[in-house]
Amino acid sequence: MCDDVRVTVIIPTYNMGKYVGSAISTVLDGSFTDLEVLVIDDGSTDDTEAIVSRFIDSSSQFFDPRVRYVHQENQGKPAAVNHGFRQAQGEYIAILDADDELPPRGIEERYEVATAVSPPADCVIGAFTIIDEEGKSVGKRSTPKTTAPKHLRRKYFLSYRTPFHLNACLIHRRLISRVGGVDTQLTRCEDIDYAIRLLNATRKLKTVEAPVYRYRKYRESLRERLRIRWITVRKRQIVLARHAPSLLKPAAVAVGIAVDSSKLLYESIFGNYQS
């Protein structure tokens, strides 16, 4: 392990042996080196452990002392992320899903912006690209045009699209200490819930225009996609009802139902929704 750990990249994974090695490599091959990669295996039953062992076995050509592997019984992604929060040694923390990737300067772009001010920013939000199963870019989401938390919160309640991706953020550990862990009762939309909680607690928020994250969208069976979309419809209503101001609550819930229902219909007719 590096003595100087400025950033911890948490990779929660469950049966993602197909992708997790690539996710780890994109962090290690990046321009930012003062980091640790913390892989939290949420009880995988595939070859995830064998894949990760290539990076932690000192006799392997892929060995890198910055990688740590932690196995836990299957408890869900929120619990895995929380485990990572507790284990993390970095001043800043980023989350990387095991089937996603980082661009070469994905961490460096965020860290430079975070530390360019004094005191350093609580959180930095970046843009991200959407990639397909083969890693080809199929879309892009820009950085929000505002850094005002109240305006970003409003977008969560009244916009058809979330204003930013939690995994495109770099979060100072002091902000995580104020906010606490991810809600383990949410099986979907836990990232939206946590992003809103971050906005409620942040004191200094910055953005970076460059894409700092590569979010993979790939086709599963139609039945599985529709099942996930239906769960999302229900869980988003819980999150919006929890956080929306009283006067906005009816509108927020209505917008959420309309947005997720339209996506569910799109999935049913045309296939995978790419946004």
Q: How many domains does the chain have?
A: 2
Please give the pLDDT value at position 158. 80
170 and 262 part of one domain: no
Domain shared by 130 and 228, yes or no: no
- Give strand pairing partners of 131: 137, 216
Cβ(15)–Cβ(53) below 8 Å? no
Do residues 157 and 259 share a domain?
Answer: no
Do 67 and 155 fall into the same domain?
Answer: yes
Does 151 share its domain with 232?
no
Whether 2 is in a domain gets the answer no
Calculate the CA 59 to chain-centre distance: 32
Backbone angles phi, psi at 101, to 5 degrees: -145, 165
What is the distance in angstroms between the CA of the first residue and the CA of the last residue of the chain? 37
Do 114 and 240 belong together in one domain? no
Same domain, 192 and 81: yes
Question: Looking at the domain assignment, is residue 275 inside a domain?
Answer: no
- 185 occurs within a structural domain: yes
pLDDT of 136: 92
pTM for the whole structure = 0.90
Both tokens assigned to 90: 């970095």
Taking alpha carbons only, the member of 187, 13, 28, 204 closest to residue 107 is: 28
- Residue partners of 203: CB distance under 8 A and separation at least 6: 122
- The answer to whether residue 67 is domain-embedded is yes
171 and 246: one domain? Answer: no
CB 217 within 8 A of CB 136: no
Do 73 and 34 belong to one domain? yes
Residue 15 falls in which region: left (phi positive, over 0), alpha (psi -120 to 50) or beta:
left
Q: Is residue 159 part of a domain?
A: yes
Domain ranges, residue 256:
222-270
| 53 in any annotated domain | yes
Say if residues 69 and 53 touch (Cβ distance below 8 Å).
yes
The first and second tokens of residue 21, run together, are 């090695």
Residue 246 and residue 144 share a domain: no
The full DSSP string for 106-138 is HHHHHHHHHTTSSSPPSEEEEEEEEE-TTS-EE
**Angstrom distance (rounded) from CA 25 to CA 54:** 11
Q: Under a CB-based contact definition with an 8 Å cutoff, are residues 171 and 94 in contact?
A: yes
Per-residue pLDDT of the chain (275 residues; tens, 9 = 90+): 445 799 999 999 999 999 999 999 999 999 999 999 999 999 999 999 999 999 999 999 999 999 999 999 999 999 999 999 999 999 999 999 999 999 999 999 999 999 999 999 999 999 999 999 889 999 999 999 999 999 999 888 887 788 999 999 999 999 999 999 999 999 889 999 999 999 999 999 999 999 999 999 876 666 777 777 777 777 888 888 888 777 777 776 777 677 766 766 666 666 554 55
- The verdict on residue 1 lying in a domain is no
Same domain, 262 and 129: no
CATH number at residue 84: 3.90.550.10
pLDDT at position 1 is 45
Instruction: Based on the fold, state whether residues 40 and 116 are members of the same structural domain.
Output: yes
Separation of alpha carbons 250 and 176, rounded Å:
30
